[in-house]
A = this chain, B = another copy of it.
Amino acid sequence: MPKVKVVERILSANDQIAAENRARLDAQGVVTINIMASPGAGKTSLILRTAEALRGRLRVGAIEGDVASSVDADKVAAAGVPVVQINTGGQCHLDAPMVTRALDALPLDDVDVLLVENVGNLICPSGFQLGQRWDVVVSSVPEGDDKPLKYPGIFTEVDAVVINKIDLQPYLDYDEAAFRQTVRALNADVPIFSLSCKTGEGVADWADWLVAAVDK
């Protein structure tokens, strides 16, 4: 039988730079979390609540990704969190080279957990490695409980799911059990946190999980 040549996977340019970002972050002891969600699901609010909940336990830094504006970074900076805004200028997701430039501008010696807010989009961001250790998707109650059915890719790949805006549950037809069941069918063991960044309900459980996960 002729010997079959095996072509090893060659990293794409983006994957290569993501691997370099990851090595740099690991060397600095920085755990990086890529936060993905629809526009308006509450990614920035989650970063603000998480930074508040981790105060005195872990030092938080942030990268804010948006097509345009610095609205989000302004809010995070006002909360005393070291932050860099990336404007993609039209691109529908962050990529590894953008994150490299943001890392150059962050005081990584003073950061234990780096929260990266990706562009609001439930599809494209999951296809691009940044150098993160974990991926998290935020899905808010007003978006409806059918999002995992319609955007299965992102829910399949993440390391944690956050249900945000549970304070709006009384005013909406949202079936949290149905949402959880659909997520479980895609990603059996993924931790799912229900919380409200507005009221703070449920944020402590999420923050405690983060602290335990970072310590591992």
C-alpha spacing A123/B39, complex, angstroms: 10
Stretch at the interface among A15-23, A97-105, A139-147, A204-212: A139-147
C-alpha spacing A140/B143, complex, angstroms: 9
CB pair B147–A39 under 8 Å, yes or no, is yes
Which secondary structure characterizes the binding site on chain A? loop
C-alpha spacing A121/B154, complex, angstroms: 14
Residues of B within 8 A of A185 (CB): none
CB pair B153–A69 under 8 Å, yes or no, is no
CB pair B146–A71 under 8 Å, yes or no, is yes
CB pair A40–B123 under 8 Å, yes or no, is no
Could you give, for residues 161-190 of chain A, a 1 whenever the CB lies within 8 Å of some chain B CB and a 0 otherwise? 000010110011000000000000000000
Interfacial residues, chain A to chain B (CB-CB below 8 A): 38-40, 66-69, 71-72, 90, 92, 119-124, 140, 142-144, 146-147, 149-153, 165, 167-168, 171-172
